[in-house]
């Protein structure tokens, strides 16, 4: 049984994550903590294999907790579950050994996938004193595949800088729908250009598109898809 600690300052979110964990076989929630100090107290009092860690918390944040865990050589794995979607924070957490990174809002299926893959890799590593190259390659290839799922290629005619700018504005919308005109106004980019970028983001399943009929011409409304993670990385 994999022992889980949830570190989340929002009681409602912590309770939701608890319910999610309880639905996945092989995981047991040992405790919940609302800040870094409480998290370390839990680690001292109980055996913890995996931490579901938020970044934004009062006082020291989740990344500081992760740094201290590595500095103290604590043998515990971490999955980030947070609204923090800045590239620097994502890269920093991965460099500090986070095994996965989920950006709020997300659906249960995404967390279930992360937990199942973690459980699978742990079962291979714990079952044997020595792991073959083939078994290790399977574990690493699945981790690489998961990361590649969030990497996109910027198509010809669009620029990465403009795309990132538009995505940063879209992130501020949360679950609220928006139009091409709204994004054009907030980014100071022409409506024609914004339309091309929104169309691309719809094609890669980042956005959901709805055609609204009313007075005058129909208007396309867009909304972030919960099923699509926001930690997009770009390559050429």
Same domain membership, residue 109 and residue 7: yes
Distances (CA, A) of 230 to 78, 163, 167, 185, 206: 19, 13, 9, 22, 8
Please tell me whether residue 42 adopts helix, strand or coil conformation.
Answer: helix
- pLDDT at 129 > cutoff 50: yes
pLDDT at 141: 57
Same domain membership, residue 139 and residue 193: no
Q: How far apart (Å, rounded) are the C-alpha atoms in residues 28 and 218?
A: 50
Domain boundary among 149, 179, 205: 149
Same domain membership, residue 141 and residue 49: yes
Structural domain harbouring 103: 2-149
Among 173, 178, 160, 140, which Cα is nearest to 232's? Answer: 160
Same domain membership, residue 80 and residue 16: yes
As a whole number, the mean pLDDT across the chain is 82
Predicted confidence (pLDDT) per residue in 22-43, tens digit: 999 999 999 999 999 999 999 9
pLDDT at 232: 53
Q: How confident is the model at residue 102 (pLDDT cuts 50, 70, 90)?
A: confident
Q: How confident is the model at residue 193 (pLDDT cuts 50, 70, 90)?
A: very high
Beta bridge partners of 233: 151
Same domain membership, residue 117 and residue 21: yes
Same domain membership, residue 105 and residue 59: yes
Domain boundary among 149, 181, 215: 149
Flag the least confident range among 96-100, 113-117, 197-201, 223-227. Answer: 223-227
pLDDT at 236: 42
Q: Can you give the CATH number for the domain in which 183 is found?
A: 1.10.10.10
Q: What percent of the chain has pLDDT over 90?
A: 34
Q: Count of domains in the chain?
A: 2
pLDDT at 235: 46
Same domain membership, residue 166 and residue 137: no
pLDDT at 104: 78
- pLDDT at 227 > cutoff 80: no
- The mean per-residue pLDDT over the stretch 116-137 comes to 68
Among 229, 161, 231, which Cα is nearest to 197's? Answer: 161
Please tell me whether residue 49 adopts helix, strand or coil conformation.
Answer: coil
Domain boundary among 105, 127, 149: 149
Same domain membership, residue 90 and residue 7: yes
pTM equals 0.57
Flag the least confident range among 39-48, 80-89, 131-140, 144-153. Answer: 144-153
Question: 66, 96 in Cβ contact below 8 A?
Answer: yes
Highest mean pLDDT among 78-87, 104-113, 181-190, 211-220: 181-190
Same domain membership, residue 16 and residue 38: yes
pLDDT at 228: 43
Q: How far apart (Å, rounded) are the C-alpha atoms in residues 85 and 94?
A: 13
């Amino acid at each position: 049984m994999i022992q889980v600690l949830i570190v989340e300052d929002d009681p409602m979110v912590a309770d939701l994550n608890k319910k999610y964990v309880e639905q996945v076989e092989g995981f047991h929630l040992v405790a919940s903590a609302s800040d870094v100090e409480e998290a370390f107290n839990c680690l001292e009092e109980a055996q913890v294999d995996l931490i579901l860690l938020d970044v934004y918390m009062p006082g020291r944040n989740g990344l500081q907790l992760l740094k201290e865990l590595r500095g103290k050589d604590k043998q515990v794995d971490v999955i980030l579950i947070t609204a923090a979607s800045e590239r620097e924070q994502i890269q920093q957490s991965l460099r500090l050994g986070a095994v996965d990174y989920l950006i709020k809002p997300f659906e249960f299926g995404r967390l279930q996938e992360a937990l199942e893959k973690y459980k699978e890799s742990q079962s291979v590593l714990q079952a044997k004193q020595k792991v073959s190259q083939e078994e290790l390659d399977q574990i690493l290839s699945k981790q690489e595949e998961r990361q590649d799922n969030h990497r996109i290629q910027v198509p010809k005619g669009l620029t990465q800088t403009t795309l990132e700018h538009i995505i940063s504005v879209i992130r501020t919308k949360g679950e609220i729908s928006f139009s091409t005109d709204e994004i054009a106004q907030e980014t100071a980019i022409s409506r024609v250009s914004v339309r091309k970028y929104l169309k691309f983001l719809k094609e890669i399943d980042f956005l959901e598109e709805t055609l609204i009929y009313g007075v005058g011409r129909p208007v396309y409304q867009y909304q972030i898809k919960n099923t699509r993670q926001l930690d997009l990385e770009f390559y050429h």
